């Protein structure tokens, strides 16, 4: 059965559209490696997902003193619960929001810290959720050059959320439960020659759900070790080959596994306007309780500055996943998403995007296979009434379906907000 999930969102913010594409200072070969990639980190709020793709270090261009934002928002939700066997319930909601931003930039170091928090109270509905729901993300991005040969990057995120995000791909596809998510990736870049670079990386990722019902099948931690070799083919193109080893440990579910990745790809820079990254190959996954198998794996990203006012970002990944696998032998998914931001004027900014996911769940023994697919779309508008006061409006629509009819749902949400920054 074909499944569609669409989410549309509207928000207005002035600062998020003023992104620069100039690379982080980096020695020699890093012009087409660390320097190119470090400038293309993405905003903390959305599109992270599939978190390690085309995301190295920090793109912040200048130091920013601590800025704090406080605001309120309200809206209407046509389906407050999308949990299994949940009853569709319409509800009004209202709550508060807060943000924090800090950046530190020197000739050798870039550090960017972002925190976003929203809390809402639902007048009705919610199903398995509490009346009070929280969504918060803390993001920290770091790039540092030790000397002419050695640099390092680190990207980290901590989240306490309830909303499903198809491009993070860490939680259930249903709005079902509060969950804690964390991700951290560190990499050391070593210039071996003027054209050859070694990149050694380690990443840890985990999720923990509040309810025992989901914790029994979803709580897990994954460790990934990577070794990449990069060849600067030209000042715009880098070829790369990478080996990864991953180990996934579930708290209770019998789905622990070892993974080996053999990958090759290219990074292509388009002057100072954009960067395209691609890695493809195969993953060999060996479950402790199932057999081993080879599956295709690929990841790609594009960040392109169309003009000084418009930026486009695209992400894609195809491969085995660890989310909602219980009851099946494996889940193979294709995820892709694109977002665009445009600064209409000094006061008005808009953004929009769409994400698509298709999943094939392989049944165990005589169990049937299940197919799922979904689309999330969003559009945001923000207007600066005053230098420190923004107002915003938003609309969202979600539709999700599955061969398992209990997972089908439709959802619309409209919201307005006001935020002051100091």
- Domain map of the chain by residue range? 15-421
For residues 287 and 257, what is the distance between their CA atoms, to the nearest angstrom? 4
Alpha carbon of residue 381 to chain centroid: 21
Residue 291, pLDDT score: 83
Cα–Cα dist 210/162, whole Å: 10
Give per-10-residue mean pLDDT for the chain (422 aa).
37 33 36 37 39 77 95 92 72 95 96 96 68 91 96 96 85 86 96 96 95 91 97 97 97 94 97 94 94 94 94 95 89 94 96 92 80 90 95 89 84 93 94
- Beta bridge pairs of residue 162: none
What is the third-level CATH fold of 15-421?
Answer: Porin (2.40.160)
Question: Residue 90's pLDDT is what?
Answer: 87
96, two tokens: 């508060």
Q: How far is CA 329 from CA 220, 325, 363, 374, in A?
A: 16, 7, 6, 21
Answer yes or no: are the C-beta atoms of 205 and 221 closer than 8 Å: yes
Q: Measured between alpha carbons, how far is 122 from 326 in angstroms, rounded to an integer?
A: 30
Instruction: Specify the pLDDT at position 47.
Output: 34
In angstroms, rounded to a whole number, what is the distance separating the alpha carbons of residues 13 and 157? 22
Q: How far apart (Å, rounded) are the C-alpha atoms in residues 393 and 383?
A: 9
The pTM of this model reads 0.85
pLDDT of residue 126: 52
């Amino acid at each position: 059965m074909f499944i569609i999930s669409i989410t549309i969102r509207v928000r207005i913010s002035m600062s998020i559209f003023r992104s620069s594409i100039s690379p982080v200072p980096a020695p020699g070969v890093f012009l087409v490696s660390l320097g190119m990639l470090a400038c293309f980190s993405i905003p903390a709020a959305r599109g992270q997902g599939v978190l390690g793709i085309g995301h190295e270090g920090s793109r912040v261009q200048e130091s920013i003193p601590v800025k704090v934002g406080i605001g309120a928002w309200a809206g209407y939700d046509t389906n407050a619960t999308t949990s299994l066997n949940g009853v569709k319930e319409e509800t009004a909601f209202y709550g508060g929001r807060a943000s924090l931003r800090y950046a530190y930039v020197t000739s050798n170091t870039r550090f960017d810290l972002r925190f976003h928090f929203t809390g809402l109270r639902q007048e009705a509905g919610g199903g398995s959720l509490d009346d009070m729901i929280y969504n918060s993300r803390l993001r920290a991005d770091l790039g540092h050059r030790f000397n002419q040969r050695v640099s390092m990057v680190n990207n980290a995120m901590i989240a306490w959320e309830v909303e499903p995000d198809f491009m993070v791909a860490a939680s259930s596809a249903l709005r079902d439960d509060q969950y804690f998510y964390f991700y951290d990736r560190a990499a050391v870049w070593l210039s071996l020659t003027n054209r050859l670079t070694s990149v050694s990386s380690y990443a840890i990722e985990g999720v923990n759900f509040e309810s025992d019902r989901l914790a029994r099948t979803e709580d897990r931690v994954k460790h990934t070790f990577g070794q990449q070799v990069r060849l600067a083919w030209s000042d715009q193109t880098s070829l790369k080959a990478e080996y990864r080893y991953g180990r996934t440990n579930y708290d209770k579910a019998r789905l622990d596994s070892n993974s080996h990745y053999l990958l090759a790809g290219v990074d292509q820079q388009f002057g100072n306007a954009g960067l395209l990254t691609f890695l493809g190959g195969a993953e060999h996954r060996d479950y402790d309780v199932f057999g081993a198998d080879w599956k295709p794996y690929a990841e790609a990203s594009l960040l392109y500055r169309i003009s000084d006012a418009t930026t486009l970002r695209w992400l894609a990944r195809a491969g085995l996943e660890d989310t909602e696998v219980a009851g099946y032998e494996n889940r193979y998914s294709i995820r892709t998403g694109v977002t665009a931001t445009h600064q209409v004027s000094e006061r008005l900014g808009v953004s929009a995007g769409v994400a698509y996911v298709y999943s094939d769940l392989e049944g165990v023994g005589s169990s049937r296979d299940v197919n799922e697919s979904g689309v999330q779309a969003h559009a945001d508008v923000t207007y600066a009434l005053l230098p420190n006061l923004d107002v915003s409006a938003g609309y969202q629509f979600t539709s999700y379906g599955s061969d398992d009819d209990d997972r089908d749902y439709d959802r619309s949400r409209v919201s307005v907000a006001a935020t002051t920054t100091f």
